[in-house]
Amino acid sequence: MSTKNLTLIIVVIFILLLGGCGCNSYNGLVQVDQGVKNAWSNVETNYQRRTDLYNSVVKTIEGSANFEKSTLKEVIAARSKATSVTVDINDSASLARYQQAQGQLQGSFSRLMAVAEAYPDLKTTKSFQDFQTNIEGTENRINVARRDFNATVNSYNLKVKTFPNNIFAGIFGYHEKPYYKSDPGSENAPDIQFNIK
């Protein structure tokens, strides 16, 4: 066998190995990328469930003739903002905007619930009681979905950043994705005051 043929065989084997590694890496990257998209859709689904619950109780509260309207308007504005934010899970800024809008909605809704405590007739309606029953489970689902999303992003980021996948990730346009972060200030204990007399 001549040196020329041996060189050609070595080059062909190298190309086949590189092609095989490239195909394997690409398929793995596609798989983890789809996993991140699936996990994010679960986060969005649970936030939508919460928004639907908020919508149902807002309608109940709107029906209460003497309820404080300014707090209700604040919730309606926050709900509108939260549902209008579009998220690109590859962009940490859009993820942060989404998280901020959801936090504002939850904060304004918490204030609405505090005001609702002063309306015993409202608290006894079936819709309000159903809301109270369902919201805790929904908040738990949101927390689980966010945790699962971050775990999936972690797997994706490890795949994108480890050798030799990092070479193929760069070639195929796969880059590190942002995590869903805790709400600002959530590391501080809440200031709870009991006015017991």
Kindly report the backbone phi and psi dihedral angles of residue 25, in degrees, each rounded to the nearest multiple of 5, phi listed first: -65, -45
Q: What CATH code would you report for 24-161?
A: 1.20.1440.20
> Which two tokens mark 119?
């309306």
The answer for residues whose C-beta is within 8 angstroms of residue 85's C-beta and 6 or more apart is 94, 97, 98, 101
Model pTM?
0.78
pLDDT tens column, 50-70 = 999 988 888 888 777 566 778
Range of 46-50, 76-80, 191-195 with top mean pLDDT: 46-50
DSSP state of 72: H
